[in-house]
Amino acid sequence: MTQPVTFHLADDERPTSWYNVVADLPTPPPPPLHPATHEPVGPDDLSALFPPELIAQEVTTERWVEIPEAVQEVYAQYRPAPLIRARKWEERLGTKARIYVKYEGVSPAGSHKVNTAVPQAYYNKLNGITRLTTETGAGQWGTALAYACALYDMKCEVWQVGHSYDTKPQRRTLIEVFGGTVHRSPSQMTESGKAFEEGHPGSLGIAISEAVELAAQDEGAKYALGSVLNHVLLHQTVIGQEAVKQLEKAGEDGADVVVGCAGGGSNLAGLIFPFLRGNLTEGRTTRLVAVEPSSCPTMTRGTYAYDFGDTAGLTPLMKMYTLGHDFVPSPIHAGGLRYHGMAPLVSHVVHEGLVEAVALDQDECFAAAVEFARAQGIVPAPESSHALAQARREALAADEAGTAPVIVVGLSGYGLLELGAFDSYLKGNLTGDSLLSDEELSASLATLPAVE
């Protein structure tokens, strides 16, 4: 028998609850504030946008939140996502590190996003909602929500960041195959969109404003967010819970380091929070590393402050690492990492020193992606490539130090709809990776709202 490389779980070993890290944190994260009064927001402030179950999950301090049976049924179609020992890549690197990849690309929409799209659609359906609006950057979130809405016979309307819409028609088609409708953002359908000239490359912040604006106007519609908020991060914790168990199956006593990419923060949080629980409650010392692009360096060069989640200032104020809510990142290919802020919960644990943050250049990430693809046969999303590049650094540094760590990498999705970016990389034509100057950064941060 050959050595096992892929680790699954038995049907009765699947997570049946989501894990809420707030219950185990040494200090509570700062609350979101009302954009006008600067008072902590209550459930009522959110009810125009979200159904009550999701609002309850947003603010709960319970450690475990049960996953509804109907959602578990959908998860069972594609979960547990495989944990793969990347032996061929290890061989190519010549490393003694043992590298495990938690691969979310086998999910219906090709990324971790389905994990939260399904419960969000489900709870909205329970509340009689017939239409969901949302934004999408790289397109993975829009795809996931379109599929989830198809499951529950709901309409799905997606504002796709202009740059992504223009360069990736396949992504739009995929959303349409799943029954969704796609608009280029900024659009002329909303006041938030009309504030920008036609052909503007857009940003996640603008697209969020547009989707929020329309949802607030329609009684039968709600808004769904693909990252950032607590309930979204909560849903993603199935990733890390599975990985912890799968590592056991692989005969490992936990991980030495866990690496994930971070755009809004949900993929990272889903992977690392269950490992963070080991650090907080079992005395483990697993290093947890968040990787962001150096052209959108929210955690490594931004400020930890209250800011809006969107460009138009329609969302509550959240305490988070931010580059300023009107910051428009350069059009790098990892569209999912182009967000001015970072999930408040992720920001909090980074600020508390529980999680490290690093920033990497686009070129290094694509190089790691191609090397990984040739070894393992999986073409990673440009976003996930950031995690791979950091894992590569960790492995080579460990070899130099003479250690042989267990490295877990979050491979949040496939890059099959991003082959245009790979083509540019192979031809030496990668663009979009312009470093933020100190002056630009100061100017952007000067627009932060003043909060006591």
Binding stretches for a copy of itself (CB under 8 A): 1-6, 8, 11-12, 69, 72-74, 76-78, 84, 87-88, 106-110, 114, 147, 150-151, 169-170, 173-174, 176-179, 370, 373-379, 414, 416-417, 419-420, 422-423, 426
Residues 211/49, Cβ–Cβ less than 8 Å: no
As measured in angstroms, the least distance from the Cβ of 59 to a copy of itself is: 28
As measured in angstroms, the least distance from the Cβ of 8 to a copy of itself is: 5
Residue 120: half-sphere exposure toward Cβ, Cα within 13 Å: 36
- Spatial CB neighbours of 119, under 8 Å, sequence gap ≥ 6: 67, 68, 71, 235
Token duo for residue 215? 């949802």
Token duo for residue 161? 């960041």
Task: List Cα–Cα distances, 211 to 91, 122, 135, 217, in angstroms.
Answer: 46, 19, 6, 10
As measured in angstroms, the least distance from the Cβ of 360 to a copy of itself is: 20
- Spatial CB neighbours of 250, under 8 Å, sequence gap ≥ 6: 4, 7, 83, 85, 100
> Which CB sits closer to a copy of itself, 12 or 44?
12
As measured in angstroms, the least distance from the Cβ of 172 to a copy of itself is: 8
CA pair distance 315, 317, nearest whole angstrom:
6
> Which CB sits closer to a copy of itself, 26 or 377?
377
CA pair distance 185, 343, nearest whole angstrom:
22
> Which CB sits closer to a copy of itself, 174 or 350?
174
Q: Could you tell me which residues are beta bridge partners of residue 305?
A: 320
> Which CB sits closer to a copy of itself, 116 or 315?
116
As measured in angstroms, the least distance from the Cβ of 291 to a copy of itself is: 21
Distinct helix (H) and strand (E) counts, the chain: 18, 15
> Which CB sits closer to a copy of itself, 245 or 351?
245
Of 265, 280, 295, the closest CA to residue 434 belongs to: 295
Token duo for residue 151? 């499951």
- At 68, the amino acid letter reads P
Of 145, 127, 128, the closest CA to residue 136 belongs to: 145
> Which CB sits closer to a copy of itself, 27 or 427?
427
> Sign of the C-alpha dihedral, residues 244, 250, 256, 262?
negative
10 Å CB burial of residue 449 (0-12, 13-18, 19+) is middle
As measured in angstroms, the least distance from the Cβ of 11 to a copy of itself is: 5
As measured in angstroms, the least distance from the Cβ of 321 to a copy of itself is: 33
Token duo for residue 343? 């999930």
Region class of 288: left (phi > 0), else alpha (psi between -120 and 50), else beta: beta
As measured in angstroms, the least distance from the Cβ of 180 to a copy of itself is: 10
As measured in angstroms, the least distance from the Cβ of 369 to a copy of itself is: 8
As measured in angstroms, the least distance from the Cβ of 231 to a copy of itself is: 22
Token duo for residue 1? 């028998």
> Which CB sits closer to a copy of itself, 77 or 442?
77
